[in-house]
Chains A and B, each alone.
Chain A
Amino acid sequence: MTYILGIESSCDETAAAVVIDGKTIASNVVATQIDLHAKYGGVFPEVASRAHVEAIGAVVEQAMEDAGIDYSQLDAIAVTRGPGLVGSLLVGVNYAKGLALSTGKPLLGIHHIEGHIYSLWLTQPFREVVFPVLVLIVSGGHTDLILMRGHGQYERLGGTLDDAAGEAFDKVGRLLGLPFPGGPHIQQAAQLGNPTAYKFPRAKQDESYDFSFSGLKTAVMREVTVQPSTQARSKRRRGAEKKARLRSDVSVHDVAASFQAALVDILVEKTARAAAEYGATEILIAGGVSANSLLRQQMRAKTELPVRYPPLNLCTDNGAMIAAAAHMRFEMGLRSNLNFEVLPMWPLTSDAYELADKMV
């Protein structure tokens, strides 16, 4: 049996987990910072790295204790190398390097998005994935459609041209006066709303597999806010910020429901079409927005293929997914150098790990 400790700190969760053979979660500890960032309306880098520093030791210790094993029983230590916020990534990576140095265990620097994908391997460990599969990555920073023909093989079919899906949720949430993060709060508000009250555009209805959510966000803004005065030039405008005001006759519930329906339609249409075109055996959804219940439900309804998504606790960032991806890489022979650098931007491709050291 292979025991891997996975450490994740790329954004606003400090997380660690021990996973056995890439499939069985022995422990999974997550310290979230959502409350810390709510007042900023988004993850705030300085606050995030400080909170990571404070939490990481205890989180890793707890993960080891919950798993009931000693460092000497580990086969490897894995950590998110990127993409993500520099300051946040550094906390996890430096901690993991220290652990690797003191325990003599191999260290693996793992791709965060690959982690999200391999969280799907933790969900139904007894039903093997049959390639090719189509993966939809939807989170605050990413929206990508990826065809996987084998382990570690990623063919990007398309992705967002502007805002990520989770970012669109956050921005519309902010417009509607809902708390951060936008996703869960819009979903909640949408429950009491009419999804057909507003006809928001399903932009980018073309043959490509690219997404665009900026137009949808702007359409929502146009519909629900007081038009800013149309003076072409605000006087010496620098520093003067215009704030869009919510119209008083707008139902937040209806807007939330209509916006969510439009966004889900866009995601589902492209995903289902790509899955059919490339003969995928299964659709995998991963990333924070995969927690959205309308997305899950519509994806199942609009395609004949099985749809796999993580349980709610594995949708958001966690250490188990990093350990799961690391297991695959460990088997393939990856061992990272102790002096590797973090990669805030790191495209997920089939040769991502070969290119990694050349990117710095």
Chain B
Amino acid sequence: MPILRDNELDIISHSVEQTQRIGARLGALLQAGDVICLAGDMGAGKTVFTAGIGRGWGAIAPVTSPTFNLVHEHRREKDNLRLIHIDCYRLQGVADLETIGFDDILARHGVLIIEWPERIEGALPKDKLWIEFNILEPTRRSFLLEADGARYQQLLNQFKEATFGV
């Protein structure tokens, strides 16, 4: 177990199903205005994890890859909150954000999930949850969750409790 800071959490998933369940745990805790960044290589499990987030959050439509359209917007039954899922893979940098209406998206105050956040780092809010995905072995993945700011520290603590009971 690597030595982590207080605002970090390291998890290993042994299967696609487990990755989705971990995502669902996180999804159930998300609130309006939360920003979750998912970084890591292709095939590292970002979309699977997001599908889990969608399930836990209560998205009506299944969460699928937004690579083609760049932005997917989800809704749920219980309230008017939106979950906005962005893929920045094809963006070349911050300047391209205008083309997907990033300012509008931030202003909508929904839950924001960003894949390939490395591409637009300069434009991201200071406070956020950053999750780094790594491929360990064919079916094993590690996730490093890092909280920036008080809200995300709280989210991380809630997530730890929901997942490990500590």
Contact = CB atoms under 8 A, between A and B. Distances in A.
Interface in A130-180: 140-141, 159-164, 166-167, 170-171, 175
B64 A164 contact: yes
Counting contact residues on chain B (CB < 8 A from A), the size range is: 35 or more
Contacts of A347: 61
Contacts of B43: 214, 217-218, 221-222, 244
B113 interface: no
Contacts of A127: none
Contacts of B67: 42, 163, 167, 170-171
Nearest to A45: B99
Interface in A178-226: 214-215, 217-218, 221-222
B99 A49 contact: yes
Greatest chain A CB density within 10 A among B65, B72, B134 is at B65
A87 interface: yes
Contacts, number: 111
B144 interface: yes
Interface in A210-250: 214-215, 217-218, 221-222, 227-228, 230-234, 237-242, 244
Interface stretch (A24-32, A78-86, A102-110, A263-271): A78-86
Contact of B96 (A43, A46, A214, A233): A46
B10 A167 contact: no
B118 A232 contact: no
B2 A84 contact: no
B142 A232 contact: yes
A227 B39 CA distance: 18
B152 interface: no
B62 A40 contact: no
B36 interface: no
Interface of A: 40-46, 49, 83-87, 140-141, 159-164, 166-167, 170-171, 175, 214-215, 217-218, 221-222, 227-228, 230-234, 237-242, 244, 344-345, 347
The 6 closest A-B pairs by CB, nearest first: A141-B68, A218-B43, A46-B99, A45-B99, A163-B65, A42-B90
Interface of B: 2, 10, 16, 39, 41-43, 47-48, 51, 61-62, 64-65, 67-73, 89-90, 92, 96, 98-101, 118, 121, 130, 132, 134-138, 142, 144
